[in-house]
């Protein structure tokens, strides 16, 4: 379990040079997290691999909680770049299921990293780890966009939140090898069907 994030926000990169350093840090952290898992990752090793001073690393990421929550935010942002809108004739609920299954498969390819990201995100306090809020909002927008909802109701938002929580739980069980991948994907499809039935074309 990562230590709770320090009570100060991360610095945000602004210049091209800062953004490049920021990305190098995220790539180094992802590689080391995938190889070593959260507990064995050392911040100094991440800084060395990224080619930055340790003070620079801590400026952007005051703790491993900040760091691996940011890695997850980066992964979610890459999902956002993909197009998961329902294809002509496709049920939008099925399109959401495909989105969540795709995200699960991507994360499960590197289980140690996935665990590191999820543990950190769980420990992140929204007041000091801005990426935790960014993850929630980006993922919510992804699902709503896939459903084709430009003006969701409060009820829509509540259902999407429940779906996110259900998917997160299924993913956790998959990482802990308490459910087989095929069963996990079937569970995700069922959750989408039950929670989003009002949005189905079926």
Domain residue extents for the chain: 16-199
Residues 149-178: what's their mean pLDDT?
94
Query: What pLDDT does 8 receive?
Result: 62
In this predicted structure, the answer to whether residue 151 has a pLDDT above a threshold of 90 is yes
CATH 2.60.120.10 matches 16-199: no
Q: At what angle do helices 154-175 and 111-123 cross, to 10 degrees?
A: 130
pLDDT over 70 at 181, yes or no: yes
Residue 60 has pLDDT above 90, yes or no: yes
- Look at residue 39 in the predicted model and tell me its pLDDT: 94
pTM more than 0.75 = yes
Task: Give 122-134 pLDDT, tens digit per residue.
Answer: 998 877 888 999 9
Residues 39-55 pLDDT 10s? 999 999 999 999 999 99
Instruction: Answer whether 164's CB lies under 8 Å from 140's CB.
Output: yes
Distance CA 187, CA 68 (A): 27
pLDDT surpassing 50 at residue 2: no
């Amino acid at each position: 379990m990562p230590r709770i994030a320090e009570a100060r926000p991360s610095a945000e990169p602004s210049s091209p040079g800062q953004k490049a350093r920021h990305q190098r840090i995220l790539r180094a952290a992802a590689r080391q997290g995938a190889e070593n898992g959260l507990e064995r990752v050392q911040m100094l090793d991440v800084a060395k691999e990224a080619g930055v001073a340790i003070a620079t690393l801590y400026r952007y990421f005051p703790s491993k909680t900040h760091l691996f929550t940011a890695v997850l935010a980066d992964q979610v942002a890459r999902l956002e770049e993909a197009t998961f809108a329902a294809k002509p004739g496709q049920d939008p609920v099925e399109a959401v299921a495909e989105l969540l299954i795709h995200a699960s498969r991507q994360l499960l390819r590197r289980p140690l990293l996935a665990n590191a990201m999820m543990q950190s995100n769980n420990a992140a306090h929204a007041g000091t780890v801005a990426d935790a809020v960014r993850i929630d909002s980006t993922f919510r927008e992804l699902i709503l966009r896939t459903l084709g909802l430009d003006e969701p109701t409060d009820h829509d938002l509540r259902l999407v939140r429940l779906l996110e929580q259900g998917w997160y739980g299924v993913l956790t069980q998959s990482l802990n090898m308490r459910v087989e991948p095929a069963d996990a994907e079937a569970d995700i499809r069922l959750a989408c069907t039950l929670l989003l039935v009002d949005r189905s074309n079926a």
